Amino acid sequence: MYGYHDHKDELLKRLRRAEGQVRGIAQMVDDDRYCIDILTQISATTKALQAVAVELLGDHLSHCVADAIEAGGPGAHAKIAEATDAVARLVRS
Amino acid sequence: MYGYHDHKDELLKRLRRAEGQVRGIAQMVDDDRYCIDILTQISATTKALQAVAVELLGDHLSHCVADAIEAGGPGAHAKIAEATDAVARLVRS
Amino acid sequence: MYGYHDHKDELLKRLRRAEGQVRGIAQMVDDDRYCIDILTQISATTKALQAVAVELLGDHLSHCVADAIEAGGPGAHAKIAEATDAVARLVRS
Amino acid sequence: MYGYHDHKDELLKRLRRAEGQVRGIAQMVDDDRYCIDILTQISATTKALQAVAVELLGDHLSHCVADAIEAGGPGAHAKIAEATDAVARLVRS
């Protein structure tokens, strides 16, 4: 079980909402809505997705990474490097 | 008709794909998939949405903003300020 | 003269401040300051630089791009594409 | 001593370079250089600063956070929450 297991329901609710936001953006395009209003919705959706990512990262540090550190050995180093790479991708996206 | 009208189909295709990506992320959470793999998918999805936003902004400049500039008057200034604010939101998101 | 000419002094003041912020970050590293405090300063500095970038972009649209649109012809299209590419780089950085 | 202690020289070198980049951007403004070229330099500088931030975060996880986890107790939780908040600020900046 991964770190986010305890609040899976809340994460799923936020992801369903983000999915609805993207569907709403497609609908706005289909309805010929004003460009700037569509851009505003895209900004809101990427923000919502990034907030989910930051929460997942916190869970990951609290569980998977913490467990690897407690277990010690090279596994801990690998987990920290992997999490840092994930942060690098989030910062660039 | 707004600036993106001529490639509405392509935009809709990309937005449907982004919607599928978000649905896929929810499925990954539901299936207890590894946190880092979920983060990678979120980064890919926000990148895809931001690429759509940049394309919409280019269309907006080429049409709505260009038309306002050609028409002249205070409307041109307002359109440019509005587009600049949209860029500020994109950069922060 | 470029679009930002009229508020060059204000831009220079903000850039001098950002330069001082980066120098301050180097000093924090040299003084063995706490990692998280250094990260907070880096976030503040990139935000300040991006705000300068958004302002420069607004100036650019109001002057260089607007002039090209008023002049008409292929130059307008090229200027808009160039500005859109600059936004894409800002969004990714 | 903090996590970044072992490669302080390399971090300082990168921060000095970023400081020079910001000084160069101010010089470009002072010299009335083309807006888009200035924007390109700002994007490069914020990318460089964010790369330093991600490296510092990796060091922080490997040392301060790992030490707190090994020590156990509520300190570990607090360190992870603090690092996650720092990531949230980086992602937004």
User: HSE of C13 in the Cβ direction (CA atoms, 13 Å)?
Assistant: 4
pTM: 0.95
Chain D 1-60, CB below 8 Å of chain C: which residues? Answer: 1-5, 8, 11-12, 15-16, 18-19, 22-23, 25-26, 29-30, 32-36, 38-40, 42-47, 49-50, 52-53, 56-57, 59-60
Q: Strand locations in chain D, DSSP E?
A: none
Distance CA(C76)–CA(C82), nearest Å, equals 10
pLDDT value for D73: 87
Contact assignment for B65 to C61 by CB distance below 8 Å: yes
The phi, psi pair for C33, rounded to 5°, reads: -75, 165
Which of D12, D47, D49, D91 has the highest number of chain C CBs within 10 A, making it the mutation to test binding with C? D49
Digitized pLDDT (tens) for each residue of chain B, 93 residues in all? 788 999 999 999 999 999 999 999 999 999 999 999 999 999 999 999 999 999 999 999 999 999 999 999 899 999 999 999 999 999 998
Chain D residues close to C24, C-beta within 8 Å:
none
CA distance C19 to chain B (A): 21
Task: Give, to the nearest 10 degrees, the angle between helix C74-92 and helix B35-60.
Answer: 160
Distances (CA, A) of D27 to B47, C58, C64, D32: 32, 20, 20, 9
Backbone dihedral region for residue A34 (phi beyond 0: left; psi -120 to 50: alpha; all else: beta)? beta
Q: Which residues contact A7 (CB under 8 A, 6 or more apart)?
A: A59
CA A23 to chain centre: 18
CB-CB: which of A4, A11, A35 is closest to B59?
A35
CA distance D38 to chain A (A): 20
CA distance D79 to chain A (A): 10
Task: Give the ipTM.
Answer: 0.95
Taking the CA atoms of D23, D28, D32 and D36 in sequence, report the sign of the dihedral they define.
negative
Minimum CA–CA partner of D91 in chain A: A91
D65 to chain C, any CB pair closer than 8 A? The answer is: no
pLDDT classification of C73: cutoffs 50, 70, 90? confident
* High-pLDDT (> 70) share of chain C, %: 100
CB-CB: which of C54, C70, C77 is closest to B87?
C54
Whether B4 and B56 have beta carbons less than 8 Å apart is answered as yes
Give residue-wise pLDDT tens across range C31-67. Answer: 999 999 999 999 999 999 999 999 999 999 999 999 9
Give residue-wise pLDDT tens across range A56-67. Answer: 999 999 999 999
Give residue-wise pLDDT tens across range A19-52. Answer: 999 999 999 999 999 999 999 999 999 999 999 9
Distance CA(B24)–CA(D41), nearest Å, equals 37
Distance CA(C32)–CA(A43), nearest Å, equals 37
Digitized pLDDT (tens) for each residue of chain D, 93 residues in all? 788 999 999 999 999 999 999 999 999 999 999 999 999 999 999 999 999 999 999 999 999 999 999 999 899 999 999 999 999 999 998
